[in-house]
Chain A
């Protein structure tokens, strides 16, 4: 261990203090909002029938897991989201590589990608349902459709902005295009890949929940729609909360992967 001066100790103390303050306010904000919500609901300042309340949400959550098979709905949605995510990311990566590889292919497909990117994918919902039926298949298809275009565009931009001088260096060594791809373009774009994963996590959730809104017999999106139709706002809020937690967890997993992969 190096011996630091008192100034350094002071400096570290300051940083630690700042972190503590930030965390304290974060928690305070959450607790404050929840208490105001609870208080207003109890005092009937806001209608608890429409707005639910934190304690009611909590009891609903417990009940849901105990009696109503919440875990089943969670797993269904997780299955659809993760599968949609993996397919979108996998194919997005491969298609982006192909487009990097062949300039001609890229030029040919460019207008189609632009159109697909600007098209609101939800508009294709009815067609997808007709094609894929009303099960998980349609929902996964939706998740893939929403995710894949962004995945392709993000990856392709990364591939195309590979340092020209580094390509030149490899070419001067007599490298083939395959070698340039394997030694430079792919390893050099791991940070791009991670940011693509982060965007795709969000996209996959949008896709699966949208899909479930349109057509489903189970899943979190289904519970939310069902809850709003029968005016069980406790159910809607509790399910939304679970959704928040799951999406955050998935994002955190990607961040963890980033720490493992991106070091230099």
Chain B
């Protein structure tokens, strides 16, 4: 199978006036099309930095990052979703979802129709002309995901996308987002500090060490169910949770 994402010996060193900080040290991994990869690690270990590197927002000091065997740049191929929904409050849901089309200058009727299809499929069509502050946290996060999907990215990058939600909403939005991603067959890299979230969603879990970030271990959960909610109930879930928790502490 062709590799969709590949990191080869990626290294990143930050320069500050007083110091030189090694943030990422020799990171290599890859994933195939359709994989759901989670990256977990102790807080401040540079998880977000890794995502910024994959998004092409930061240039690695050395090493290579390839998407579809081509070097990355911020472009069509990557969709980035952040902690808060970051919907623009002065735009309606419809206009928010069109934002990537405007930025990438692909605001065609065809692409807008695709966006509307997604909104319809995921029950946001009635809120087309509403403003973000009129929607619940969960719906806003769904709208943010659809905004990420409209430019048909090859790879989705999720940076703790549920951490701003309360526990109840988080569980259901997590399920929601997972189902959308799976039905759109998107390859995803998720960064999180929530072990149970990582286990319930991922095909592959990468555990990073404290800074400078290196790979500590890679796990393949292989749970029998195909829904984060149900996975949380399975026996292996608890076993893996404990294992990861020990690794992180």
Q: Would you give the 0/1 interface string for B85-102, flagging 1 where the beta carbon is closer than 8 Å to chain A?
A: 010111000000001101
**Residues of B contacting A168 in the complex (Cβ-Cβ under 8 angstroms):** 57, 80, 82
A172 at the interface (CB under 8 A from B): yes
Could you say which of A170, A174, A188, A264 contacts B73, with CB atoms under 8 Å apart?
Answer: A174
Q: Main SS of the interface on chain A? A: helix
Q: Can you list, as one digit per residue, whether each of A166-187 has a CB less than 8 Å from chain B (1) or not (0)?
A: 1011111111000100011001
Q: Please name all residues of chain B whose beta carbon is closer than 8 Å to the beta carbon of A169 when the two chains form the complex.
A: 80, 82, 86
Contact A172–B80 (Cβ < 8 Å): yes
Shortest Cβ gap from A185 to chain B (Å): 11
Interface 0/1 of B69-85, CB less than 8 Å to A: 00001111011101110
Whether B104 sits at the interface, judged by CB under 8 Å, is yes
Q: How far is the CA of A261 from the CA of B89 in the complex (A)?
A: 13
Query: At the interface, yes or no: A206 with Cβ under 8 Å from chain B?
Result: no
When the two chains form their complex, are residues A173 and B151 in contact, meaning their CB atoms are under 8 A apart? yes
Out of B74, B83, B84, which one reaches A173, CB within 8 Å? Answer: B74
Asked if B17 is at the interface (CB within 8 A of a chain A CB), the reply is: no
Residue interface mask A232-264, B partner, CB < 8 A = 1: 000000000000000000000000000000011
A163 at the interface (CB under 8 A from B): yes
Residue of A nearest to B131 (CB): A264
A89 to chain B, nearest CB (A): 20
Instruction: Give every chain A residue within 8 A of B55 (Cβ-Cβ).
Output: 172
Chain A residues with Cβ under 8 A from B76's Cβ? Answer: 174
Instruction: Name the interface residues of B210-233: CB closer than 8 Å to any CB of A.
Output: none
Q: Kindly identify which residue among A166, A171, A173 contacts B100, using a CB–CB cutoff of 8 Å.
A: A173
B102 touching A165, Cβ below 8 Å: no
A46 an interface residue at 8 Å Cβ cutoff?
A: no
User: Is A190 interfacial (CB-CB < 8 Å)?
Assistant: yes
Contact A165 B86 (CB under 8 A): yes
Q: Collect the chain A residues with CB atoms within 8 Å of residue B73's CB.
A: 174
- A264 contacts B90, C-beta separation under 8 Å: yes
Contact A264 B133 (CB under 8 A): yes
Interface residue B239 (Cβ < 8 Å from any Cβ of A): no
B55 nearest in chain A by CB position: A172
Q: In the complex the two chains form, what is the Cα distance from A172 to B90 in whole Å?
A: 20
Inter-subunit contact B99/A183 (CB<8 Å): yes
Q: A residues within 8 A CB of B80?
A: 168-169, 172-173
Contact A172 B86 (CB under 8 A): no
The reply to whether B82 and A165 contact each other, CB–CB distance below 8 Å, is yes
Contact residues in A for B157 (Cβ distance below 8 Å): 172
CB pair B99 A173 closer than 8 Å: yes
B1 contacts the other chain (CB 8 A): no
Using known A-B contacts A174-B104, A183-B103, determine if residue A166 contacts B86 with beta carbons closer than 8 Å: yes
Q: Which residues of A contact B86 (CB under 8 A)?
A: 163, 165-166, 169
Tell me if B132 is interfacial: C-beta within 8 Å of chain A: yes
CA distance A163 to B89 in the complex (A): 12
Q: Output the least CB separation between B172 and chain A (Å).
A: 24
Chain A residues positioned under 8 Å from B83 (CB to CB): 165
Q: Judge whether A170 and B132 touch: CB under 8 Å.
A: no
Docked pose: A183 CA to B107 CA in angstroms: 14
- Contact of A174 with B131 in the complex, beta carbons under 8 Å: no
Tell me, rounded to whole Å, the shortest Cβ–Cβ distance linking A255 to chain B: 19
Minimum CB–CB distance for B163 against chain A, Å: 13
CB distance from A195 to the nearest CB of B (A): 16
Q: How many angstroms between the C-alpha atoms of A263 and B220 in the bound complex?
A: 48
CB-nearest residue of chain B to A169? B86
Chain A residues close to B by CB (< 8 Å): 163, 165-166, 168-175, 179, 183-184, 187-188, 190, 263-264
Q: Provide 13 A-B residue pairs closer than 8 Å at the C-beta atoms, listed in order of the A residue.
A: A165-B82, A168-B82, A169-B80, A171-B74, A173-B74, A173-B80, A173-B151, A174-B75, A174-B76, A183-B102, A183-B103, A188-B88, A264-B89
Chain B residues at the A interface, C-beta cutoff of 8 Å: 55, 57, 73-76, 78-80, 82-84, 86, 88-90, 99-100, 102-104, 131-133, 151, 157
Given contacts A173-B74, A173-B104, 20 further A-B contacts (CB under 8 A): A165-B83, A165-B84, A165-B86, A166-B86, A168-B80, A168-B82, A169-B80, A170-B103, A171-B74, A172-B74, A172-B80, A173-B80, A173-B103, A183-B99, A187-B88, A187-B90, A188-B88, A188-B90, A263-B90, A263-B131
Nearest 6 Cβ contacts at the A-B interface: A172-B80, A264-B131, A174-B74, A173-B103, A175-B103, A264-B89
